[in-house]
């Protein structure tokens, strides 16, 4: 039996949040990622009841099985500056409440940047922030810690860092968003079969493959270990088709949604090519 992987893109919510579902359906998505508001602002307009109702109706009548949100890139729960830390916590609480209103499957977030305060201090700030956040939103949707490329002082580029956050915040069942470009840029070589198996074994040992609830499927413009986050279309970067074939044929992750974060191209031509290639690599035809 051929397994159909839940595949999709990060879709625009321009013109109404429900329109993201329609945009995803047009190109054959069965999973989706969205922002729930303007990702470049600290404070966003509340979701309207009409918009929330329209989103639920659109999703109910679609073939899209899983929908995740990505939080604002302004949020930094590791910030050493108290003012930015407080703003980040408040914004993240609002993100969680918006996800709950929309009934989303999880909220993806970057663990944060310690901004030269040091890794240990940064991890402590992240854990302390989460303690406050989950006290404020005890019925929060699942938070997915995203693997990062390690640019600058960003946390989450080593699997050990993700494990330490999870250990320090036992009140929440964290998931992981495994970004292929970020992991590769961070120094984990998944471009070949042996490397892929070794990296996944290391992740399983430190964090647990069962925590992976979402993949960001991006090739990398930069070499393994560059610690530079530059996405490329699937199979056209330094990871190449072999690495993605290993992932798409890994039975452990057949039901884990996989989202593209690459430019869609004119009339979504690049999205359609990437989705078709991933399905072919998975053996779906």
Tens of pLDDT along the chain (285 residues)? 345 789 999 999 999 999 999 999 999 999 999 999 999 999 899 999 999 999 999 999 999 999 999 999 999 999 999 999 999 999 999 999 999 999 999 999 999 999 999 999 999 999 999 999 999 999 999 999 999 999 999 999 999 999 999 999 999 999 999 999 999 999 999 999 999 999 999 999 999 999 999 999 999 999 999 999 999 999 999 999 999 999 999 999 999 999 999 999 999 999 999 999 999 999 986
Q: So what's the pLDDT on residue 109?
A: 98
Q: So what's the pLDDT on residue 2?
A: 44
Of residues 124, 41, 132, the one with CA closest to residue 80:
124
Rounded CA Rg of the chain: 18
Query: Rounded to the nearest 5 degrees, what angle is found at the Cα of 252, between the Cα atoms of 251 and 255?
Result: 85
Q: So what's the pLDDT on residue 285?
A: 60
End-to-end CA distance of the chain: 12
Give binding residues for Zn(2+) as ranges: 70, 110, 146, 179, 182, 216, 229, 231, 261
Provide the phi-psi class of 6: left if phi over 0, else alpha when psi is between -120 and 50, else beta: beta
What whole-number distance in Å separates Cα of residue 71 and Cα of residue 104? 13
Of residues 65, 67, 73, 75, the one with CA closest to residue 30:
65
Residue 131, token pair as written in the block:
């303690």
| 92-102: b (≥16 Cβ within 10 Å) or e | bbbbbbbbebb
- SS3 for 69? strand
- SS3 for 78? coil
What whole-number distance in Å separates Cα of residue 205 and Cα of residue 170? 18
Give binding residues as ranges: 70, 110, 146, 179, 182, 216, 229, 231, 261
What whole-number distance in Å separates Cα of residue 20 and Cα of residue 221? 28
* DSSP designation for 246: H
Q: Which domains does the chain have, with CATH numbers?
A: 71-263 (3.20.20.150)
pTM across the whole model: 0.97
Of residues 115, 142, 152, the one with CA closest to residue 228:
152
* DSSP designation for 191: S
């Amino acid at each position: 039996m051929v397994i159909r992987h839940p595949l999709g893109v990060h879709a625009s919510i321009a013109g109404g949040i429900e329109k993201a579902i329609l945009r995803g359906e047009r190109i054959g998505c069965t999973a989706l990622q969205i922002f729930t508001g303007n990702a470049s602002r600290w404070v966003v307009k509340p979701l309207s009841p009409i918009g929330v109702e329209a989103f639920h109706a659109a999703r109910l009548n679609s073939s899209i099985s899983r929908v995740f949100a990505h939080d604002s890139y302004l949020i930094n729960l590791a910030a050493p500056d108290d003012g930015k830390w407080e703003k980040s916590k408040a914004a993240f609480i609002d993100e969680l409440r918006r996800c709950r209103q929309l009934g989303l499957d999880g909220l993806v977030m970057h663990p944060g940047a310690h901004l030269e305060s040091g890794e240990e201090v940064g991890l402590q700030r992240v854990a302390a922030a989460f303690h406050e956040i989950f006290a404020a939103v005890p019925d929060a949707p699942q938070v997915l810690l995203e693997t990062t490329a390690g640019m600058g002082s960003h946390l989450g580029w080593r699997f050990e860092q993700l494990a330490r956050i999870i250990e320090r915040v036992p009140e929440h069942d964290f998931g992981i968003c495994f970004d292929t470009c970020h992991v590769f840029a961070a120094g984990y070589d998944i471009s070949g079969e042996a490397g892929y198996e070794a990296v996944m074994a290391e992740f399983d040992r430190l964090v647990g493959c069962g925590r992976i609830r979402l993949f960001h499927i991006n090739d990398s413009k930069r070499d393994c270990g560059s610690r530079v986050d530059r996405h490329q279309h699937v199979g056209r970067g330094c990871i190449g088709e072999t690495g993605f074939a290993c992932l798409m044929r890994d039975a452990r992750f057949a039901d884990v949604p996989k989202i593209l974060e690459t430019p869609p191209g004119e009339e979504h031509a690049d999205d359609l090519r990437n989705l078709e290639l991933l399905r072919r690599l998975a053996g779906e035809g």
